[in-house]
Amino acid sequence: MSTRQFLFSGFGGQGILFAGKFMAYKGMLDGKHVSWLPSYGPEMRGGTASCSVIISDTPVGSPIVSTPDVLVAMNLPSLDKYEGSVATDGMIFFDSSLIERDVKREDVRAIPLAATSLANEIGTPTLANMVLLGKILASLGEFDEEKIAAVLKKVISAKRADMLEANLNAMRAGAQSTGLI
């Protein structure tokens, strides 16, 4: 991999920015060049949120991801909006408990996961983002629990350190899922 561009998208409040931040932090700890750029403004309050994450072997030029290699869509408006922008042979991860359609593109790899349902099942309904993130890392062959715990320590504030295990557990659940509804 020389450069991998992620676009995380969904409703404000689903932890989209946090998921992106996790990925950026992981890239940094892997010794890569990284950038994280959120959408900002009133649209975030209950509307759609997105963030661009770039992980690269070389310094990052534009931090704006317009042709993602990996799209993460946690709601239908996001999938509708960004499906067409994904790079050929790219990947689309989406929360199939909230999105009731399939990916239309045939030149990308679609990976549905009922992340919200799964998060509910394991008793942490607010961690659908981490469930999906676990799946993404597993699919990219980067699910390394030790590393993930190190990243979580960085991105979760000391005040909420008690959430670390729950986050890890949610990611584990996502990684182990078969991905089918």
What residue ranges bind another protein (CB under 8 A)? Answer: 21, 24-25, 28, 33-38, 40-41, 60-64, 66, 154
Closest distance to another protein from the beta carbon of 140 (Å)? 20
Give CA–CA dist 179/95, Å, rounded. Answer: 10
Closest distance to another protein from the beta carbon of 66 (Å)? 6
Give CA–CA dist 40/37, Å, rounded. Answer: 9
Give CA–CA dist 97/14, Å, rounded. Answer: 13
Give CA–CA dist 6/136, Å, rounded. Answer: 11
Give CA–CA dist 82/80, Å, rounded. Answer: 6
Q: Provide the token pair at 127.
A: 């961690």
Closest distance to another protein from the beta carbon of 21 (Å)? 7
Instruction: Reduce the DSSP state of residue 21 to 3 states and report it.
Output: helix
Closest distance to another protein from the beta carbon of 153 (Å)? 13
Indicate the angle between helix axes 145-155 and 164-176, nearest 10 degrees.
140
